[in-house]
């Protein structure tokens, strides 16, 4: 089973990348082949809105890195997308990527039936993670992905989705922040659960 993780953060290797890494680590321990794509490493032009993808399954822009990224998605059994919350939404970088995948589903649904999952990370406790999660899942559903959630059969349901935060508490009026995302035990547990569920959804008996 091949699992591709896509990080929409503008920062490589930081919170969102760490969370995606946990999901991949868990899945890899169960035998999956995994890859993490940091979008910041790739050159992705804006969609031109030329609507060529309404006529044929092809994008007009061929001289950036989107073709390689599309091939990676087409070659994967599961795609997991992670985004930090920027103003209650996905990052601008990730949105540009999402728009450029339009040709993969307008004429032919080239990603239909693959497994898909999403996770988010934000500074605040309720900083827009849920809305961002919904935007990511809506994107996956538009492409015909089958959404895999982090809740596991026969185990407690921790949360509706992986909605990471650096917020730890208040000391009077002062915010207390976690030093790193790995201190968020709930989110870490849910990332590992998602890794296992991706394996289950891929047919692995756990
Ligand atoms: C432009 C910008 C907008 C942000 N907007 C929000 C926000 O709306 N809510 C929030 O809780 N955190 C917000 N943050 C904080 C990030 O979501 C947070 O630092 C996150 O952990 C970054 O993920 P990363 O470490 O993977 O880059 C924002 C950060 C930036 C740079």
* Confidence label for 99 from pLDDT (cuts 50, 70 and 90): very high
pLDDT attached to residue 70: 98
pLDDT attached to residue 160: 85
- Supply the range of the domain harboring residue 142: 2-201
Closest CA to 28 of 97, 73, 80, 69: 80
* Residue 48 domain-assigned (yes or no): yes
The distance of Cα 131 from the centroid of its chain, to the nearest Å, equals: 14
pLDDT attached to residue 130: 97
**Contact of 121 with 16, CB cutoff 8 Å:** yes
Distance 131 CA to ligand 1 centre (A): 14
Give the count of domains, the chain.
1
Whether the pLDDT of residue 116 is over 90: the answer is yes
pLDDT attached to residue 80: 98
Distance 123 CA to ligand 1 centre (A): 6
Residue-wise pLDDT tens digits, 177-194: 999 999 999 999 999 999
The ligand 1 atom at the shortest distance from the C-alpha of residue 88 is 8
Distance 84 CA to ligand 1 centre (A): 6
Q: Which tokens is 114 given?
A: 């693959």
**51 Cβ contact partners less than 8 Å away, ≥ 6 residues apart:** none
Average pLDDT, the chain: 96
Ligand 1: lining residues by beta carbon, under 6 Å: 9, 11, 14-16, 84-88, 121-124, 127-128, 166
The ligand 1 atom at the shortest distance from the C-alpha of residue 122 is 17
pLDDT attached to residue 206: 82
Averaged pLDDT, 67-88: 98
pLDDT more than 90, % of the chain:
95
E strands present in the chain: 2-7, 33-38, 78-84, 115-122, 146-147, 163-165, 167-171, 174-177
Distance 11 CA to ligand 1 centre (A): 10
Report the CATH number that the domain containing residue 157 is assigned in CATH.
3.40.50.360
* Residue 169 domain-assigned (yes or no): yes
Residue-wise pLDDT tens digits, 28-73: 999 999 999 999 999 999 999 999 999 999 999 999 999 999 999 9
Distance 128 CA to ligand 1 centre (A): 10
* Residue 206 domain-assigned (yes or no): no
**Which residue's alpha carbon is at the smallest distance from atom 5 of ligand 1?**
86
Residue-wise pLDDT tens digits, 147-177: 999 999 888 877 889 999 999 999 999 999 9
Averaged pLDDT, 91-116: 97
* Residue 103 domain-assigned (yes or no): yes
- Ligand 1, from 88, 95, 122: best to mutate by most atoms within 8 Å of Cβ? 122
Give me the DSSP letters along 10-68.
SSTTSHHHHHHHHHHHHHHHTT-EEEEEEGGGS--PPP----GGGTSS--S--SSTHHH
- Ligand 1, from 84, 88, 127: best to mutate by most atoms within 8 Å of Cβ? 84
pLDDT attached to residue 6: 99
């Amino acid at each position: 089973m091949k699992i591709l993780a896509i990080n929409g953060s503008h920062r490589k290797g930081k919170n969102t990348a760490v969370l995606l890494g946990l999901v991949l680590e868990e899945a890899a321990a169960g035998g999956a082949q995994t890859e993490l794509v940091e979008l910041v490493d790739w050159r992705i032009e804006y969609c031109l809105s030329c609507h060529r993808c309404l006529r044929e399954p092809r994008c007009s822009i061929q001289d950036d890195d989107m073709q390689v990224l599309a091939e990676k998605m087409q070659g994967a059994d599961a795609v997991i997308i992670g985004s930090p919350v920027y103003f209650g939404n996905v990052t601008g970088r990730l949105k540009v990527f999402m728009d450029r995948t339009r040709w993969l589903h307008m004429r032919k649904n080239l990603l239909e039936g693959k497994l898909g999952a999403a996770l988010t990370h934000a500074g605040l406790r309720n900083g827009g993670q849920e809305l961002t999660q919904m935007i990511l899942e809506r994107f996956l559903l538009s492409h015909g992905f089958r959404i895999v959630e982090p809740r596991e059969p026969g185990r407690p349901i921790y949360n509706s989705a992986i909605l990471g935060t650096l917020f730890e508490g208040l000391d009077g009026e002062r915010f207390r922040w976690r030093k790193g995302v790995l201190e968020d035990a709930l989110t870490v547990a849910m990332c590992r659960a998602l890794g296992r569920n991706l394996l289950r959804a891929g047919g692995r008996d756990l």
